Each structure stands twice: as structure tokens, then as C-alpha cells.
Chain A
């Protein structure tokens, strides 16, 4: 089992969700986050005072998937989330030790 974490542009959320659903991913968690890599922020001015905003709003998706479909999911995200500009985001993969369904205590890949 692999955890797929993807930080993407806010405007790409719908496209990525649709692409993942099309390849059979049934569960995910979506978070509203702020952060930056190399992307510069912007400046706001209130009554003459400048505020530089360098933490940029992004969307983070988290999902734990059976190893068999991880690469398909990664490809789906890459294709649907890319704009070609700095700020597109990143995908991280980590190994998951166990997954347990709360409703009936089912464990392993069957719980995903």
C-alpha cells in the first residue's frame, strides 16, 4: 500500500478528481493548504502599507492506494494537474504499514 500525496494548483482540483475517478480511485482526502516551493507570492497594499504574501493557497490530495494502481494514479495526476508553469506542485509517495476500516475492522488492501 502506498500513500500518494499531491500538492496541486487550486484550479486543477476538479480535473484531478475526475481523472482519478476515471481510473478507479474511490477514496481521497482533500485539504486546503498554504505554502510555496519556488513560486513567488504577491504583494497586497492596504492604506499605503505593503504586505507580501508568500504563502500561496494550494490544494493537497491524500490517498492510500493498492500498489497495483499507484503508477496509473500518478500518471493521471501528472496529466490533469500540469500547466507547465512554476507552481504546479509535487507528488510524494510513501509506504503505508497498515490500513484498517473503522466500520468492520477489515485490514490490508481490502480496507482501501
Chain B
């Protein structure tokens, strides 16, 4: 009897569990089709939002990586050893300082509603910037995502200018310059091209709609032209051009350039502001332009110097990425190859020939690559933009209109020229004013002794490499 007790208990227990299935089955509590449909549609929208948000957060991270360590390494390797930390610090400090400005008021000035030239203060201290999307900008992601994505652009833009005054600008002056530049030049430019009511906003009905998908005008022209102004205002480095100042580490620059290439996928493809097919198109155009431009620059060097250099190849890739920035969301892959190739050749010419002819010391070719490449790219965008990729212009009835010159919209070239001209003008006037103010107050340039000693020691009290010191 005892041996059968437990198995009997288990059997009875299982029979007990099965009894509900013996009862008659009713369909009680099943929701009606309409409710289920509504729930399904909500789930689909949520899934899309999740996908878009995931991509946009990843893109934001990629763009920040472009500054640190991408640009820091790229520029850091190009300067002399005694200035490596000073150069990297310039990029890094901006990651911190611009972030604070953006959070306090710069986001509001750039993307708030205001007038054609600047936004308002409704998002001061990021008020109203939360989980809810702003449909004017990106309907499927939180406005906070959009804000942090745009922040990364605001960070890298002034960091690019450092290429022009490398090795001779005081750190304090650089910080003051960047704060003022970010507020007085970047914010208005970003507002005009991308902000609600912006004068040049192609997506939101600006008066001179400039096609600029990811920042050819806002980022590259403004920074590149400001760079030229800075280089001319500050003057040449001591010993330039007679004294040899080769890059102290093309290895660092190489690593930086590769990080820039990969990060640029966030910069351009992320500018689609969602994870759809436009992002894919921009991703592909970006990559193809970089490839063609690297080949173009390297080929030009091979022909001219007999050898293609590593520095040339990576510089070419960067030039191509700059030029495709405004075009990335408007062109197909083959024009992207062509834009890249032209940019590689054009920027090589600007850097290797034009700079020598005019004699300005744009130390790291911020103007030659970003200013010139950005201008070229903005104009070629007007040539190759097609509504087949991005139907950005529509008539009153909602019919898609042609985008660029080759598609039949010759007038768009005028708008591109207006956008380019405004970028140049704002950069020149704004930079000159800021430089003058800083020059009259704290001074811009380090002393001759400090410049000879190097920025690392004179500005930061550090040395980049301590390899020769005995244990």
C-alpha cells in the first residue's frame, strides 16, 4: 500500500489539472476585430518608432565619435609632436563646452521657432524637449533624440576650424572664439537651413530652399571659410614655410580618418532622421563618394609625385565625404562616385597648389578640404539632386517636382548659390568680428617662446609622449 501511495497521488493530481478541459469551451472575453486592428496599428507604429530611434541614437554616437577620437586623431597626427595634446584638447574641450551651450540655449536658438534667421527661446534649458516627437522635424523619434543628434553636429563644426590655427592659438582664446562662433554663426546657419521658418530650409518652405542634407553649408562651408579667415588673421606659424613641419604621426591621422569615414555614416545617413530607405541611400552615397575621392587624390599624387601617399589617400577620402555631405540624401550611387572623384581631385589641387600660390598657412587644410569641398559639394548637389531619391519639392497639389539641374530644375542652382553665398558671408563677417573682439581683449596667439616650446607644455603643462625617459 505505501509503495503505491505517491504515484497514486501524482496521478490524481494530474487528473485534477485536466478537468477544466472537460468543461464546455466558451469564447468569452475575445476582443472585437476593430479593437485588435487599432492595437496592431499602434504596435506597428511603436515598432517603427523604436527602429528609427535606435538608428538615430546610434547615429548620434557615431557623429560624436567623429570628433572624439576621429578628428582629434586626424588633426593630432598632422601637427608636430610638441603640439599633439594641444590639438586634441581643442576637439575634446568642445565636446564638453558646446554640449553645455546646446543644453542651455543653443538648441533653442537653432531649432526653436523664431524668424527666418534665428530661432526663439521656447526650448531654453531644453524645456519641452522630451519623449514626444516634433512632427516638423522627425515624427517618429523623441524630440530629445533629435536634439542630441543635432548636438553632435554643433560640436564637430567648430572643432574643424582648429585646423587653420593649429599650433599657434591660445587655448583660452580658442575657447572664447568657439563659444561666440557657436552662438553667432552656427546657430543662425543651422536655423536657416534646418530650423522651422529658416530662410534656406528646403523641407519646410524656406524662401531660398537650399538642398543641404547633412550640412555642406551649415558645417563645412561655415567652418572651412572661417578657418581661412582665422589663418589669414592670425598669420603664419613661426618658420612657415621654410622650416620643415611634417606630420609627426601619419599613423594617428590614418586611424582618425578611418573613424571619420565610419562615423560619417551617422552624419549623413542619420540625417534621414529615420531608419528607412532614404537612410540606406544616404549611407551608400556617402560610402561611394569617399571611395572615389580617395582614389582621385591618390591618383593625382601618383601622377604628380610618382608615388601615392597614405596621407593623400586618407585626405582624399575626407574630401569626398565633405563634398557628399549636402548631396547624400538626394543623389544616386553613380553621381555619388562622380562627386567623390571630382572632390578628390579638386581638393588635392586646392591643398597642393592653390595654398602654395597664395601662401596662407591653413595648417591642416581646413579651408582646402572643408571650405572648398563643402562649396563644391553644395553646388554639385544642385546638379545631381533627384526626386527619385528624395521627393523634397512638391507643388500645391502634392505632386512631386524635380529637384536638381539634370532632372530639369535649373532654378535650384540659384538657390544653392544663395545658400553658399550666405554661408560664406556669415562665416567671413562673423569670424572677423569675433577674432577682433578677442584680439583686443585677451589676445589670440601664443607668444613666440610659447609657440617654439609647443602648445602641450605652454598651454597644458604636459607632454604627449614620454618614451625617452629612463625607468
Contacts and interface: CB of A to CB of B under 8 A. Distances in A.
Interface of A: 44-49, 51-52
B311 interface: yes
Contacts of B241: 49
Contact of A47 (B244, B307, B351): B351
A44 B315 CA distance: 17
A48 B311 contact: no
25 contacts: A44-B246, A45-B301, A45-B305, A45-B307, A45-B309, A46-B246, A46-B247, A46-B250, A46-B309, A46-B311, A47-B311, A47-B312, A47-B315, A47-B351, A47-B352, A47-B365, A48-B348, A48-B351, A48-B352, A48-B353, A48-B355, A48-B356, A49-B241, A49-B352, A49-B356
Interface residues of B, number: 19
A47 B300 CA distance: 11
Interface of B: 241, 244, 246-247, 250, 301, 305, 307, 309, 311-312, 315, 348, 351-353, 355-356, 365
A45 B247 CA distance: 11
The 8 closest A-B pairs by CB, nearest first: A48-B352, A51-B244, A45-B305, A51-B246, A47-B351, A46-B246, A46-B311, A48-B351
Contacts of B301: 45
Contacts of A47: 311-312, 315, 351-352, 365
A52 B247 CA distance: 14
Contacts of B352: 47-49
A24 to B, nearest CB: 30
Nearest to B349: A48
A47 B365 CA distance: 9
Contacts of A49: 241, 352, 356
Contacts of A52: 244
Nearest to A50: B305
A77 B309 CA distance: 38
Contacts of A45: 301, 305, 307, 309
Contacts of B305: 45
Given A46-B250, A47-B311, 12 more contacts: A44-B246, A46-B246, A46-B247, A46-B309, A47-B351, A47-B365, A48-B355, A48-B356, A49-B241, A51-B244, A51-B246, A52-B244
Contacts of A46: 246-247, 250, 309, 311
A48 B244 CA distance: 13
A47 B246 CA distance: 10
Contacts of A44: 246
A51 B246 CA distance: 7
A112 B345 CA distance: 63
A49 B244 CA distance: 9
A44 B246 CA distance: 9
A52 B348 CA distance: 21
Contacts of B312: 47
A49 B307 CA distance: 14
Contacts of A51: 244, 246
A52 B237 CA distance: 19
